Structure formats: C-alpha cells, structure tokens
Amino acid sequence: MIADFLQYDFIRNAAFVGLMIGFLAPLLGVFIVVRRQALIADALSHITLAGIAASLLISKQIGAFKMLNPVYLGMAFSVTGSVLIERLRKEYKHYQELAIPIILSVGIGLSVVFISLANGFNTDLFNYLFGSIIAVDSSDVWMVLSILVVVTIAIVLFYKELFLLSFDEDQAQVAGIRSRFIQFLFMVMVALVIAASMRIVGILLVSSLITLPVAASIRIAKGFKQTIWIAILFGETAVITGLFTAYYFDLAPGGTIVLLSALILIIVITWKKYRYAFQRSKEA
C-alpha cells in the first residue's frame, strides 16, 4: 500500500515536504507557544497570503512572472511582516499583543484587494488557502529542504539563546545575550517555516500545525527539550497519517492533518485526566 502510495512523483513530493514541515512547524512552535505568542503564526500566514495573491496578480499581467514560485513573494511579505510585528511590539510596550491583530488585518486587507484586482479566486489560490497534495512540485521540495537546513542549523546554534530569551528576557540581557538580534532571527525563521508549510496545510491552517502538537506535548513532557521532541513526534504523526488519509479518501490534506492533530490533543488530555483518576483510585 505504501509503495502504491509513493509511486507517483507528486505524492512523493508531498510526502517529502510533509515530513519536513512535520518537523519544522512544531520545532518553532515550542518557542512560540511558551512565549504565549501562538497568534503570531496566524498574523504571518495572512501576510504570506497577501504576498501570494500579489504574486498571482503580477503573473496575470506579466507572463514571465509565472516562472517564479508565488511562495517566494509570500515569504518576502511574511519576513517583512515579522519585522513590522517586532517594531509594533516596541511601539506598544504594554500592549504587545496588539501587533498581532494589526498585522493580521492588514494581511487580510491586502489579500482581498489583490484578489479582487485579479478578478477573484482561481484554483491556485484555493490550493494556497487550504493546502493540496497535487500542487506540490519539485521546486517546492527544494525550497522547503533549504528552509529545513537553514532553520535547523540556526536553532541548534542559537538554542541556548532562544531558550533563555523565551524564559526570561531580563536574565537574557544580564547574560549578555543580544536579544534583539536573536528575536529578529527567530521571527524570520517563523516567517520562512510558515511559507514552507502552507503548500500542504494551506495558509488558514498553518498556525494549527505550529501550535496543536505543542499544546499536546506540553501536557506530558518533562522539560523543554522533551517538549520539542514530543511535539515533533506528534507533528510528524499527524502529517504522515493525514497525507495518507487525504490521498485515499480524496480529502483536503490541510484539514485532515489539523483534525488529526486535534485528535492527538484530545487523546493526550483525556489520557492525562484518566491517568490521574486511575492513580487516585489506586491510592484510595
């Protein structure tokens, strides 16, 4: 069955990309969630959508632009958005979360304008919104692979700094850590991973792949490193089974993956509850 599943190029592409984002999204997700910034992923994904809509619009006007993968312009928008969020957070020191709805609504606003300029939806855009297996081509595989390599190296190199910064900003400063640089680097990584993920899960669902596995992992893990590993395990499980299910039942992969992530979350929560009840009844 798996051999059958992998015999088509497009499925193989989707499977590679799936494996990579199943690793990347929860990895960054852990750092995002522990800072209580889960919504940042939403803001950035909507800005990414604006970039993609812009790219589709331009290629309608200028034929040569079709050669360029729209994800690149999406990425450019998303990185710009992440820089803007940082600036806004400085501007509103005591209302830092305001940056998120501001960027989110600007992203949607831009997208809607670009889409209407291009005279409405087409299937391409639909695929970006909800994800698709068929749409993944080999240029996507290479792009996601480069992002995987860059982001993984950056996380390994800056693990200490990212960890300390997430836990305690004052202490990070006393330890002489260049917080602004690290924070900037991190936001750029988030922007890249969002752009990488959305081919398969779609823009509207990217943030759930970033947060749901972490939400489940955080319930049961001991320590930060373990939280990361378990989140990745959950992410990969959801992506692999999700792609598989989506292919056989002809469903949108994004939705399937997200629902499976939610299922994992429910199982974890129930298991924890049940386990406590079980322990208590044993003690009684």
Q: How many CB atoms lie within 10 A of CB 225?
A: 12
- Closest approach, Cβ 110 to another protein, in A, equals 33
CB of 216 to another protein, least distance (A): 12
* Window 165-194: residues binding another protein (CB under 8 A): 166-168, 170-171, 173-177
Q: How far is the CB of 60 from another protein (least distance, A)?
A: 46
Q: Does 31 bind another protein (CB under 8 A)?
A: no
Nearest distance from C-beta of residue 174 to another protein, angstroms:
5
Stretch that binds another protein, among 86-94, 158-166, 241-249, 273-281 (CB under 8 A): 158-166
Scored b (16 or more CB within 10 A) or e, 122-142 reads: eebbebbbbbbbebbbeebbe
Q: Which of 161, 187, 204, 261 binds another protein (CB under 8 A)?
A: 161
**Closest separation in Å from C-beta 175 to another protein:** 3
Return the residues of window 211-240 that contact another protein according to CB under 8 A: 218, 221-227
The nearer residue to another protein, 34 or 106, going by C-beta atoms, is 34
Binding positions for another protein, rule: CB under 8 A: 34, 36, 157-158, 160-161, 163-164, 166-168, 170-171, 173-177, 218, 221-227
